[in-house]
Chains A and B, each alone.
Chain A
Amino acid sequence: MVSQARKSELLFSGSDWNFAKLSRVYDEIEALGTEELGLDIYPVQMEVISSEQMLDAYSSVGMPLMYRHWSFGKRFLYDEFLYRKGARGLAYELVINSNPCIVYLMEENTMALQALVTAHAALGHNHFFKNNHLFRQWTDAGGILSYLDFAKGYIARCEERHGLAAVEAILDSAHALMEQGVFRYHRPPKLSSEQQREGLRERLEYEERSFNDLWRTLPPSQGKTKPEAGDEILAERKKSLKLPEENLLYFLEKNSLVLEPWQREIVRIVRVIAQYFYPQRQTQVMNEGCATFVHYTIMNTLFDRGRISEGAMLEILRNHSNVVFQPTYDDPRYSGINPYALGLDMMQDIQRISTAPTAEDRDWFPDIAGRGDWRDTLLDAWANHRDESFIRQYLSPTLIRKWRLFMLADGADEPHYEVASIHNERGYARIRSALAQSYDIGASRPDIQVVDVDLLGDRHLRLQHKVKDGIMLEGQSRDATLRHIRNLWGYEVSLAAIDAGTGATLSERWTKEL
């Protein structure tokens, strides 16, 4: 009966934490997570940091290692300002998609919070990182830390050799294109291993040594272009350059005529990092929802089994409800839909549909309603969906009613919004589809592609912006970004706005007009 007694013992008491308590709580939570919820996680490395170190980590996009750039300094000042002013608290934790999965715990947290954070990050996020198909296919959790280490060292060496200003100029330009620096539709190549990178670097150095300066002396432009090439040649050219290309950074890295080898490598580093974060941006609702669902379920189970005291549970619940608070649209605190709240509600809704469905649920979700295996359904959703598809598939009429979601149609040239749909029979499908659409990064970010470049002629780089629903680019930032593209490309760049529906050219901007 000793084990029985131990089982109902409190895991911790009091608000102070120490490493022994942390370890005991982690073991318990991990056992619960893997046995009860069927989670599958990377090994965990927990690091305790102070609030200043948390601010440091914020400024370098949450990575423990990062190269140096002024924009991170700027971000640090902003975060510090907001934190000191009390306008914003710090996150209780930070988790990194790596193997082993690194979880930062804040020193100031109470023991109850540390337990909550452990369940949230070390189990929830960890499971999501390891199992979601986007992360599995598009990022390399094992290689990212060593790659960042390489990137930091490489950029520091470049700063020494070529000067801060030169490196900064390249980084500025590359950062401007980070959004356009990811492969959306085909999988990026795996990060090369240490050895391959070494070989690559040697090759770059060889190229640097055998660099022929004559290329640089070619006149920049030869006045008017030669007569228009025939369609056939054009098609040939596009094929050889694999055009159109959506990944501008990739195209510039491979084809720019003015970049030196070290500059190409820097563009590549920025591109790899942008690609690494791309899945995270597509799975905000799911990732946070998964972590929140896991911590909520585990903490409640622990409490039910008498392993957490009522006081600690109250503190956990208080923090939990702060995290999942969703103000309505007319509340001054409203700043968009809270991904924690939406994710958790949808996942709990799936649980409900599986165990206690209504007739409506059986109608909408014949596959899962009443099957009772909500664990498998959730594991499957976490593994195979991103925000857009998850919402498209699982947002139920019950939840739309609960949230009282409605849709506004907003035409820029009209003086008012029109309420297009509300939470009624006719609105469910449209609201669900529109909400899913708004989480589709591919559709909500400007679609800009390289369509043509005449490498043998005047090297004019043609970009195309597919204008959807008449949404144009903001003029000032567009011009500034075009200037950055010109820096990387070295020759004339033009950006044409093409209407996605009709194919008509709406406007064209040349760098020589800037």
Chain B
Amino acid sequence: MPIFIDRRLNPKDKSLGNRQRFLRRAREDLKRSIRDKVRTGGIAELDREHAVPMPRKGTDEPTFGDDRESGRRQHILPGNRTFSPGDLIDKPAGGGGYGSAPGTTESEDDFRFVLSREEVLDLFFEDLELPDLVKLNLKQILSFKPRRAGFAASGAPTNINVGRTMRNSHGRRIALRRPKQAEVDEIARQIAELEAKPASAAVRERITTLREELERLERRRRRIAYVDPVDIRFNRFDPQPVPNANAVMFCLMDVSGSMGEREKDLAKRFFVLLHLFLTRRYERIEVVFIRHTHQAKEVDEQTFFYHTESGGTVVSTALEEMHRIIKERYPVAEWNIYAAQASDGDNFATDSERCIELLDRKLMRLCQYFAYVEIIDERESHIFGSTENGTSLWRAYNAVDGKWPNFQMRRIAAPADIYPVFRELFARQPALRKSA
């Protein structure tokens, strides 16, 4: 008789620690994969699991091994049908003889594994330098609030509904004719009374019957419980998502020739971050993409990021287009409106005034938040620093910035510069939560 141990209920994921070590080891490679995902995928797509190719760098385990291209060997193979000693067989092209393991490189190419949503976000956040609290906030899934939803026959002891339980118990006791305490007491009292009297045969007989009756009642009471497990009812709670409103996010981008790969990549990360933030707070988000040169157009995401167009730069056209779309499709009473604009700061000389006017008079009243990033060259970053002067658009927006607290602007040269644009937005969140 062997010893049997049932291990099926043991904790799984014994190798979780190894997985974490492996991911840390391959961090750089994985980060690149996620960056490619951001670059090629949609804005809303980042926020879930992703399959990534097996990282190569830093994950090989070298040992001393034979060089297949040298030396003399002998192979023993089964299944000879036609060969006789001395026959020559051409080697298959591409090296590697019979009996050698197939090269591992091909299989590694299509080998992919799945990163969980948390791991993906961790990698995405890596060089954005977000504060920990913000990271936590972004990783959190939609919050739920328990709401009463009737009764259940099972649940936690703390949720027992006493009233309902006792009502069931009462009905059951009546139906099964459980003797009441009063009946039992009455018979006991009678017995006591009779016992006090002088003992005669009739009395004794009466006492015996009464005792039997008492015993019968007691037995019945024992058999039919006062409160039986079938009576118990629990309060039932349903998780109810915390009510969220709808939000629409406008992505505005200058797509004239001056916006190169790097600029677009940075802009995209900026949009992704805003989108991530909004998904945490709103149940339903729509994203509107508006791109502009000297004229603006609403486009789909693919066109937005990947089609280039030549032309001048007139920023106000994009703002007008946005205003038009809001009026048409997104009534302010029903939608929270967020806007994110990315540009290299070029604008047609006289247009900046018009932009100020549009923002000041119309758009800022409608928007919850308007973030503007100006993507600059890394070499320029130290020249501009935080000085007031800059491109014409920058100078113009500076005026708006002072006036509206929900307007944010920032120059960014590297991924780490993106977060400060949103600082205000994230800082306000706890306050909003409380009031909600």
Contact of A416 with B89 in the complex, beta carbons under 8 Å: yes
Contact of A469 with B72 in the complex, beta carbons under 8 Å: yes
Specify which chain B residues have a CB less than 8 angstroms from the CB of A104 in the assembled complex.
7
Q: Does B103 contact A (CB under 8 A)?
A: no
Interface-lining segment among B57-65, B307-315, B387-395: B57-65
Say how far A401's CB is from chain B's closest CB, in angstroms: 10
Contact of A471 with B73 in the complex, beta carbons under 8 Å: yes
Instruction: Tell which of A77, A403, A468 touches B54, judged by Cβ atoms closer than 8 Å.
Output: A77
**A404-B79, A410-B72 are known contacts. Are A44 and B65 too (CB-CB below 8 A)?**
no
Interface-lining segment among A291-299, A315-323, A365-373, A475-483: A475-483
- B7, B18, B65: most-surrounded residue (chain A CB, <10 A): B18
Contact of B5 with A179 in the complex, beta carbons under 8 Å: no
Question: Number of B residues contacting the other chain (C-beta, 8 Å)?
Answer: 63
C-alpha gap A45/B101 in the complex (Å): 36
Contact of A418 with B87 in the complex, beta carbons under 8 Å: yes
Contact of B17 with A446 in the complex, beta carbons under 8 Å: no
**A46-B4, A49-B7 are known contacts. Are A477 and B71 too (CB-CB below 8 A)?**
no
Say how far B375's CB is from chain A's closest CB, in angstroms: 35
Say how far B69's CB is from chain A's closest CB, in angstroms: 5
Specify which chain B residues have a CB less than 8 angstroms from the CB of A407 in the assembled complex.
74-77
Specify which chain A residues have a CB less than 8 angstroms from the CB of B113 in the assembled complex.
77, 80-81
Contact of B77 with A44 in the complex, beta carbons under 8 Å: no
Q: Does B67 contact A (CB under 8 A)?
A: yes
Instruction: Tell which of B66, B73, B80 touches A405, judged by Cβ atoms closer than 8 Å.
Output: B80
State which residues 37-75 of B face A: CB under 8 Å: 54, 59-75
Q: Does A411 contact B (CB under 8 A)?
A: yes
Contact of B97 with A417 in the complex, beta carbons under 8 Å: yes
**A53-B10, A73-B22, A176-B61 are known contacts. Are A418 and B86 too (CB-CB below 8 A)?**
yes
Contact of B61 with A419 in the complex, beta carbons under 8 Å: no
Give the A-B pair count, Cβ closer than 8 A: 253
Q: Does A237 contact B (CB under 8 A)?
A: no
Say how far B194's CB is from chain A's closest CB, in angstroms: 59
**A178-B63, A330-B79, A477-B63 are known contacts. Are A411 and B72 too (CB-CB below 8 A)?**
yes
Specify which chain B residues have a CB less than 8 angstroms from the CB of A417 in the assembled complex.
75, 88-89, 91, 97-98
Say how far B410's CB is from chain A's closest CB, in angstroms: 35
State which residues 411-464 of A face B: CB under 8 Å: 411-412, 415-424, 426-427, 431, 434-435, 437-438, 446, 448
- B17, B64, B74: most-surrounded residue (chain A CB, <10 A): B64
C-alpha gap A408/B72 in the complex (Å): 11
Q: Does B15 contact A (CB under 8 A)?
A: yes
C-alpha gap A346/B308 in the complex (Å): 71
Specify which chain A residues have a CB less than 8 angstroms from the CB of B84 in the assembled complex.
419, 422
Q: Does B306 contact A (CB under 8 A)?
A: no
C-alpha gap A327/B99 in the complex (Å): 12
Contact of A59 with B15 in the complex, beta carbons under 8 Å: yes
Contact of B5 with A45 in the complex, beta carbons under 8 Å: yes
Contact of B15 with A76 in the complex, beta carbons under 8 Å: yes
Specify which chain B residues have a CB less than 8 angstroms from the CB of A180 in the assembled complex.
64
Residue of A nearest to B69 (CB): A412
Specify which chain A residues have a CB less than 8 angstroms from the CB of B63 in the assembled complex.
176-179, 477, 481
Specify which chain B residues have a CB less than 8 angstroms from the CB of A327 in the assembled complex.
79
C-alpha gap A107/B5 in the complex (Å): 12
Contact of B70 with A472 in the complex, beta carbons under 8 Å: yes
Residue of B nearest to A414 (CB): B91
State which residues 465-506 of A face B: CB under 8 Å: 465, 467-478, 480-481, 484
- B18, B78, B84: most-surrounded residue (chain A CB, <10 A): B78
Specify which chain A residues have a CB less than 8 angstroms from the CB of B8 in the assembled complex.
48-50, 53, 107
Contact of B80 with A446 in the complex, beta carbons under 8 Å: no
Instruction: Tell which of B61, B67, B89 touches A408, judged by Cβ atoms closer than 8 Å.
Output: B89
Residue of A nearest to B66 (CB): A471
C-alpha gap A378/B219 in the complex (Å): 71
Specify which chain A residues have a CB less than 8 angstroms from the CB of B80 in the assembled complex.
329, 404-406, 422-423
Specify which chain B residues have a CB less than 8 angstroms from the CB of A52 in the assembled complex.
12-13
Interface string of B1-44 (1 = CB under 8 A from A): 11111111010111101111111110000000000000000000
Contact of A73 with B15 in the complex, beta carbons under 8 Å: yes
Contact of A472 with B67 in the complex, beta carbons under 8 Å: yes
Q: Does A198 contact B (CB under 8 A)?
A: no
Specify which chain A residues have a CB less than 8 angstroms from the CB of B13 in the assembled complex.
52, 56
Residue of B nearest to A56 (CB): B14
Contact of A328 with B78 in the complex, beta carbons under 8 Å: yes
Say how far A187's CB is from chain B's closest CB, in angstroms: 24
Contact of B73 with A410 in the complex, beta carbons under 8 Å: yes
Specify which chain B residues have a CB less than 8 angstroms from the CB of A27 in the assembled complex.
1
Contact of A26 with B62 in the complex, beta carbons under 8 Å: no
Specify which chain B residues have a CB less than 8 angstroms from the CB of A81 in the assembled complex.
111-113
Contact of A335 with B101 in the complex, beta carbons under 8 Å: yes
Say how far B14's CB is from chain A's closest CB, in angstroms: 4
Contact of B62 with A47 in the complex, beta carbons under 8 Å: no
State which residues 47-76 of A face B: CB under 8 Å: 47-50, 52-53, 56, 59-60, 68-74, 76
Contact of A46 with B2 in the complex, beta carbons under 8 Å: yes
Say how far B77's CB is from chain A's closest CB, in angstroms: 4
Specify which chain A residues have a CB less than 8 angstroms from the CB of B198 in the assembled complex.
none
**A412-B70, A481-B63 are known contacts. Are A23 and B78 too (CB-CB below 8 A)?**
no
Say how far A278's CB is from chain B's closest CB, in angstroms: 15
Contact of B79 with A329 in the complex, beta carbons under 8 Å: yes
Say how far A162's CB is from chain B's closest CB, in angstroms: 15
Extra A-B contacts (6), CB below 8 Å, given A417-B98, A426-B85, A469-B72: A337-B78, A406-B83, A407-B76, A446-B66, A448-B64, A480-B62
User: Which 8 A-B pairs have CB atoms at the shortest separation, nearest pair first?
Assistant: A328-B79, A471-B71, A73-B22, A73-B18, A480-B62, A329-B77, A44-B2, A406-B80
Q: List 9 A-B contacts (CB under 8 A).
A: A19-B4, A44-B3, A60-B18, A412-B68, A465-B64, A469-B71, A472-B71, A475-B67, A478-B64
